[in-house]
Amino acid sequence: MNTYLIPANASTGKLIFGVFRRVDLIIFVSGILASLLILMIVTPDNLTQAIICLLPVGTCSLLVVPVPNYHNILIVLTELIMFYYNRRNYKWEGWCYKDEFK
Once rounded to an integer, what is the mean pLDDT over residues 52-78? 87
Once rounded to an integer, what is the mean pLDDT over residues 81-85? 89
Alpha carbon distances (Å) from 44 to 12, 50, 56, 80: 40, 5, 15, 36
Task: With beta carbons less than 8 A apart as the criterion, state whether 25 and 33 touch.
Answer: no
Work out the mean pLDDT of the chain and round it to a whole number: 81
**Cα 62 to Cα 73: distance, rounded to the nearest angstrom:** 7
Task: With beta carbons less than 8 A apart as the criterion, state whether 25 and 19 touch.
Answer: no
How many CA atoms lie within 13 Å of 82's alpha carbon, on the beta-carbon side? 6
Once rounded to an integer, what is the mean pLDDT over residues 38-63? 92
